[in-house]
Amino acid sequence: MMTSSLVVPGHVAEAELLEGKIRPLYIVAGEEGFWASRLCRLLEPGFPGGKESFYLEDVELADIFFMVSQPTFFGGKLFFLTGAEDVLVLEETGLGSVAEGNCLLLVAKIKPAAVSQSWLSRVSELGGMVVDASPPDSKTAAEWVETEVRRLGGRIRKDAAQYLVFLVGRKLLRLESEVQKGVLFAAGKEITRSMVDEFCSPDSEANAFALVDAVASGNVQRALAEIPDLMAQGFNVPRIFSILASQFALVWKVKERLMQGVPPQKIAAELGVHPFAAEKAMRQASAWSFSALRQAFKCLLEADENLKTGKVDAGLACEHAICYLAALCARRSRA
C-alpha cells in the first residue's frame, strides 16, 4: 500500500538526512512540533540559496508553489511552510513541480492519516516523504532518548532513559533539552537513574507525584506539606483533585488486572501507561481495597462540588480531602 512506504517516523527521516540524502518534498504531519524544527535545521545547510519561511495565512499558496517550481541562480532554496492543515486534506494539490535543487517542507498539525490521497500521490511522484510527527508512546520516547544520547557522544542506562521519560513526559522538545543537560552533567560517565534525579527538570505533573505518594501511603503530614509548593508552582485545587482521581483510577485498574491474573510485567502495556507509573500503582494497590477506592472517589467528587458551589474555601477543601484520603489508607493499613 502506498502509505506504508511514504509515511515514516521522524527518526527515519532524520537518519536519512544525516546520511546526506535530501528529498524535494517533505510533509510533516502531527502534533509533535519538534520534528518540523529538527528536520528544518538538518535541511538548511544543504541549500546555498537559503531558506524562505511562510505561514499559510500570510501568503497565497499559488505564489509559494510558483516560487518552488522556479530554479534559482544562487543555488537551491528551502521553502518552509507552516499552517498547512487545510491544504493537505484537499483532493487537488495545486503543486505542479519542485525545481531541481529546491525543497518544499509543509508542516501541519493533522494526523498523517488525514493527508489526502492526492497529496500522497504527489509525494510519491516527486520522491518525497511524509513524516509522522504524532506524539510517541513511552517506549518509543525512551528509545529516542537512548539514540539521542549516543548521537551526542554519551551513554545512558535503559532504565534511566525510561525514568527520564516518566519524569519529563513524551514531548521530544522537552526531552531534547533534558538529554543535552544529562550528557553534559554525566561528563563521559554512563547516565544512571540517580543522575536523572539530579539534573532533570520534571514536567509540572511530575511535581505532584510526591503529593500522590504521600496521600496513597497514608502520610498526612507529608501530604499537607506538599500543598504550598504545588500552589506556588501554579497548581489550583481542582487540578490537584484531578491528579489524585487519576491516580486512584489507575490503582483501581491495576487491582483489577492483578485479580484477573495478568502478569505484573504486562500491566503497563495493557493499560497504556508508563512502566514506572504502573509499578507505583501496583505498590499502592495492596493498601487500597475497592471499597476504600470508592470512598476516595466519592470524597473527591463531593469536595469538588463543594468548591464549585462556594460552600467551602479552596484551601480548606483541599486540606480536608487530603486528610480524609490519607486516613482512609491509614485505616486500611491498620486493618
Q: Which of 174, 199, 224 is the C-terminal boundary of a domain?
A: 199
Question: How many Å apart are CA 52 and CA 61, to the nearest integer?
Answer: 14
Say whether both 123 and 178 belong to one domain.
no
Say whether both 125 and 146 belong to one domain.
no
Say whether both 228 and 330 belong to one domain.
yes
SS3 21: coil
Q: What is the pLDDT of residues 138-181, one digit of tens each?
A: 888 899 999 999 999 999 999 999 889 888 888 898 899 999 99
Say whether both 13 and 125 belong to one domain.
yes
Q: Which of 87, 111, 132 is the C-terminal boundary of a domain?
A: 132
Q: What are residue 53's phi and psi, to 5 degrees?
A: -110, 135
Say whether both 164 and 264 belong to one domain.
no
Say whether both 159 and 214 belong to one domain.
no
Provide the 8-state DSSP code for 119: H
Say whether both 226 and 323 belong to one domain.
yes
Q: Name the grid cell of 15.
A: 537518519
Residue 171, domain CATH? 1.10.8.60
- Residue-averaged pLDDT of the chain: 87
Question: How many Å apart are CA 256 and CA 215, to the nearest integer?
Answer: 21
Say whether both 214 and 322 belong to one domain.
yes
Say whether both 220 and 328 belong to one domain.
yes
Q: Name the grid cell of 17.
A: 538526512
Residue 61, domain CATH? 3.40.50.300
Specify the pTM.
Answer: 0.64
- The half-sphere exposure of 252 on its side-chain side, counting CA atoms within 13 A, is 14
At residue 331, the pLDDT reads: 55
Q: What is the pLDDT of residues 84-129, one digit of tens each?
A: 999 999 888 889 999 999 999 999 999 999 999 999 999 999 999 9
Say whether both 156 and 225 belong to one domain.
no
Q: What is the pLDDT of residues 288-316, one digit of tens each?
A: 889 889 999 999 998 888 888 888 888 88
Domain coverage including residue 164: 138-199
